[in-house]
A and B are shown apart, each in its own frame.
Chain A
Amino acid sequence: MIVSFYVNDRLVQLETPPERRLLDLLREDLHLTGVKEGCGEGECGACTVLLNGEPIHACLTLAIQLEGCHITTIEGLSAPGELDILQNAFAEELAIQCGFCTTGMILSAKALLLKQPDPDETMIREALSGNICRCSGYVQIVKAVKRAARELREAAV
């Protein structure tokens, strides 16, 4: 099939079998390798991207479901060579160790902040509950999201 959808606000058109995963379309066809494959079955959250602003698993999304959709990947958060507020906060708060979970973690946090500019710890933990980190404590990750939320609010005034 030929599927047309938006990736980071750019219209893309791909020729693909309908049962091909969004994860493979992004990594193999579009060379957007920020999205990671951990478990491949919806358990780890490493493949998290945004679909129309909502967090989804790229490993459980197929080409046939994509027509007209807006996908945001980690590459869409900032211009090449720059970091957006969330990425920067993760680096500053030492919320990244091996980094495998980080892009998914940041996109789940992004989805939360789009709806809730001032989340408390419970909301943050709930929003990140589908993202597993094998390395760092979640403490730094929660701190990073709080910091980004604060900086985003300050930037908005």
Chain B
Amino acid sequence: MNWYTPVTMEELAAALAQGGESSRVIAGGTDYTIHLRQGKANPGALIYPGRIPALREIMLTEDSLRIGAMATMAELSLALAAVPEFAAIADAAGGVGSPQIRSKATLVGNLCNASPAGDMLPIAKLYDMVLEVLDGNGRLTDVSVSDFFLGPGKTALQPGQAVTAVRANRTAVTGWVSAFHKIGFRSYVSIARIGMGVLLHIDAAGVISDARLTLGAVANVPIRVYAAERLMQGKPLDRAMLEKVTAVVSRTVHDNCRPANRLYKTEAARGLCADVFAQLEKRMS
């Protein structure tokens, strides 16, 4: 098997060009090693971009957050736990697998793997992230999350392309507070999982002036629950509001799940809402 271990972006582009259609990028390898060994993947060439320093960076500036493709879950949970508007990313990254998984698994690998149960899918949707995609000609293109996920294991990424980073707009969410929670555990029938991300802007009077809510592992791609978002607007973060949001989330889960999963997931949605909102309250005080 051919292999490439580029140390610069130029070398990565060259590897993508030379590696051809059947080349594959390996990042942390926590998904891909298993696919390789199960014979589900048979790449013509392997490209490991972990030695490109720029790809390891997590860059937080006043107006944006940029996460390099090789930044790990462990690094993300450490870097973002104290940033209220991005704490949901830390929640999700800190809950992936075990310490051993988090030392290697990347957020970008989670998105590229595109398992509907991947914890980072509802996160990418929550922040309307943009993926920076590099091709063999050295061209970088922005792809928005809404165009990236096409279905289970399917993304808009073409053969011969690699994601180099994802970006989130910080200006749009400065002063907001966020949280993520998931229930259930990983299993090969990813039946027992839902992840939920919430991002709120609360004004000085304690009223929610804007809100975003996303769900993962409910449908084939992560979804935003606009009905719940509208419901929250103009209300204080109290029990009455929480009950209404819970009802909408449960209904959304019910309507989007395969019939066999409905009862379990609908019930689970209630616990999930309680946990996410408890976390948000803690972060606001």
Please give the distance in Å from A128's CB to the nearest CB on chain B: 8
Q: Are B103 and A51 in contact (CB under 8 A)?
A: yes
CA distance A41 to B46 in the complex (A): 20
Q: Are B97 and A68 in contact (CB under 8 A)?
A: no
Q: Are A42 and B100 in contact (CB under 8 A)?
A: yes
Chain B interface size, as a band, is 20 to 34
Given the complex, which residues of B lie within 8 Å of A19, measured CB to CB?
A: 1, 36, 46
Q: Are A129 and B98 in contact (CB under 8 A)?
A: yes
What are the interface flags for B30-43 relative to A under an 8 Å C-beta threshold, 1 for contact and 0 otherwise? 10011011000000
**Closest partner residue, chain A, to B30 (CB atom):** A60
Interface residue from A55, A61, A130, A131 paired with B29 (Cβ < 8 Å): A61
What are the interface flags for B41-78 relative to A under an 8 Å C-beta threshold, 1 for contact and 0 otherwise? 00000101011000000000000000000000010000
**Closest partner residue, chain B, to A18 (CB atom):** B3
Given the complex, which residues of B lie within 8 Å of A64, measured CB to CB?
A: 3, 5, 26, 46, 48
Q: Are B100 and A55 in contact (CB under 8 A)?
A: yes
Q: Are B48 and A56 in contact (CB under 8 A)?
A: no
Q: Are B100 and A18 in contact (CB under 8 A)?
A: no
What are the interface flags for A49-83 relative to B under an 8 Å C-beta threshold, 1 for contact and 0 otherwise? 00100111101111011011000000000000000
- Near B by CB (< 8 A), chain A positions 90-143 give 108, 111, 126-127, 129-131
Interface contact tally, CB-CB below 8 A: 74
**Closest partner residue, chain B, to A40 (CB atom):** B37
Q: Are B33 and A62 in contact (CB under 8 A)?
A: yes
User: Given known contacts A57-B101, A65-B50, A129-B98, is B34 in contact with A42 (CB within 8 Å)?
Assistant: yes
Please give the distance in Å from A35's CB to the nearest CB on chain B: 13
Given the complex, which residues of A lie within 8 Å of B100, measured CB to CB?
A: 42, 45, 48, 55-57, 108, 130
Please give the distance in Å from A64's CB to the nearest CB on chain B: 5
CA distance A59 to B30 in the complex (A): 9
Q: Are A61 and B33 in contact (CB under 8 A)?
A: yes
Q: Are B33 and A67 in contact (CB under 8 A)?
A: no
User: Given known contacts A19-B36, A111-B99, is B3 in contact with A54 (CB within 8 Å)?
Assistant: no
Is A157 close to B, CB under 8 A?
A: no
Is A1 close to B, CB under 8 A?
A: yes
Given the complex, which residues of A lie within 8 Å of B34, measured CB to CB?
A: 41-42, 60
**Closest partner residue, chain B, to A130 (CB atom):** B98
**Which residue of A42, A48, A57 has the most chain B CB atoms within 10 A of its CB atom?**
A42
CA distance A54 to B29 in the complex (A): 16
Interface residue from A1, A41, A54 paired with B103 (Cβ < 8 Å): A54
Given the complex, which residues of B lie within 8 Å of A41, measured CB to CB?
A: 34, 37
Rank and list the top 4 A-B pairs by shortest CB-CB distance, nearest first. A130-B98, A18-B3, A54-B103, A64-B48
A→B interface (CB under 8 Å): 1, 17-19, 21, 40-42, 45, 48, 51, 54-57, 59-62, 64-65, 67-68, 108, 111, 126-127, 129-131
Question: What are 21 A-B residue pairs whose CB atoms fall within 8 Å in the complex?
Answer: A1-B3, A17-B1, A40-B37, A41-B34, A42-B30, A42-B100, A45-B100, A48-B100, A51-B104, A56-B103, A59-B33, A60-B29, A60-B30, A61-B29, A61-B104, A62-B46, A65-B26, A65-B48, A111-B99, A130-B97, A130-B100
